[in-house]
Amino acid sequence: MLNGGMQSAVFVKGPINDPSERLHYWTVEIALPLQELASHSSAKVPPVSNSFWRINFSRVEWAVRVATDSYTGKQHYEKKAGLNEENWVWSAQYAVDMHRPEWWGYLQFRPQGQSPPRMSDEVPLDPEWGVRYVSFQFYYAQHAFHKVTGTYTSSLEHLLPYFTSREAIECTSLLDTSATEKSFSAQIGLRTNDRFVASIEEDGYITVEKVSKASITAIE
């Protein structure tokens, strides 16, 4: 990304790390090259009007205390020992890590000069969201099952106690699956929507394709 055209700048108003004076504020501005962001995906660059990408941001904040340097006698801030960081994110992740794309936010591209939507129904919904959500619920259930048994399973019934969402179970249509001690792959659809099928693997890699109703046959 750094060699692909990313630009960044930092602005600080007020002194840095000086408890005797008040830091007014700081800002960070980053320009991300779209071509680099889309290099390992099927996303179009430039983006299609009113299309959207999934994205999230995270800022880590640590609790600090005032400490005095033993040599200079000057005061400065340092992290408080024994406290965890606070993670400020754009879209809630329900976990410390950011590697949960089903919970990322949406960035919509709109033509320059076009007014932002005023009503929620002016923003198009993601037609793939449902099948992606249940696929990741299946993924988490598989890993919970593996933690207990030491293997993955090709049976949806065996995974039912490990689902954290009852609604996801009721909506999941398992179309095809294979599993070993070290890996699994599955094709998953929605019982309430037969337009999309997701393929997901043990590493969380997921793809979604649009299919015809005649090509879908559930195994469970």
Distances in Å between the alpha carbon of 204 and those of 2, 132, 140, 156? 26, 11, 9, 18
Examine the pLDDT at 14 and tell me if it is beyond 60: yes
Helices assigned H by DSSP within the chain: 34-37, 129-149, 156-159, 166-171
Say how far apart CA 76 and CA 92 lie, in whole Å. 32
For the chain, percent of residues with pLDDT exceeding 70:
92
Chain segment 71-103, per-residue pLDDT in tens: 999 999 999 999 999 999 988 888 888 888 888
In the structure encoding, which two tokens stand for residue 37, read together? 């962001």
In the structure encoding, which two tokens stand for residue 190, read together? 């929605």
Planar angle of CA 36, 42, 45, nearest 5 degrees: 50
Say how far apart CA 6 and CA 22 lie, in whole Å. 31
Examine the pLDDT at 110 and tell me if it is beyond 80: yes
Chain segment 141-196, per-residue pLDDT in tens: 999 999 999 999 999 999 999 999 888 899 999 999 999 999 999 999 998 877 89
What pTM value is reported for the model?
A: 0.77
* Sign of torsion over alpha carbons 170, 172, 176, 179: negative
Chain segment 195-214, per-residue pLDDT in tens: 899 999 999 999 999 987 64
pLDDT at residue number 214:
47
